[in-house]
């Protein structure tokens, strides 16, 4: 896996390395170029802002979550852009 930023933490509790990818602040932009960067991760963490509250758009962000979940376990939480859109 190619890392933009990598951190290592050793607990002695895992029997093999665990790789978590974090993707945030997509703001409804195209996302296809992200998948090569996170290939090989054990899970994906998405801490929000997949939508764009200023244009009230989230179609690409939802598609990203769907595509990501087909590739690896994906965990998502709402960001401030999602929270500020009642329709979301």
Residue 9: pLDDT band with limits 50, 70, 90: confident
3-state secondary structure of 74: strand
| 4, 34 contact by CB (below 8 A) | no
Q: What is the pLDDT of residue 88?
A: 60
Residue of 29 and 8 predicted with greater confidence: 29
Whether the full predicted model's pTM is greater than 0.85, yes or no, is no
Residue 61: pLDDT band with limits 50, 70, 90: very high
Q: What is the pLDDT of residue 7?
A: 83
- Look at residue 73 and tell me whether its pLDDT is greater than 50: yes
Q: What is the pLDDT of residue 3?
A: 58
**DSSP per position, 43-68:** EEEE-S--SBTTTTB-HHHHHHHHHH
Residue 1: pLDDT band with limits 50, 70, 90: very low
CA distances from 49 to 25, 31, 71 (A): 5, 13, 20
| 48, 79 contact by CB (below 8 A) | yes
Nearest to 20 by CA among 51, 40, 42: 42
């Amino acid at each position: 896996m190619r890392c933009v930023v990598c951190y290592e933490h050793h607990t002695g509790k895992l029997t093999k390395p665990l790789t978590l990818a974090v993707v945030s602040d997509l703001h409804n932009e195209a996302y296809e170029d992200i998948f090569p960067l996170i290939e090989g991760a054990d899970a994906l963490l998405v801490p929000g802002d997949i939508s764009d509250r200023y244009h009230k758009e989230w179609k690409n962000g939802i598609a990203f979550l769907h595509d990501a979940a087909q590739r690896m376990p994906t965990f998502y939480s709402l960001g401030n852009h999602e929270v500020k859109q009642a329709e979301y």
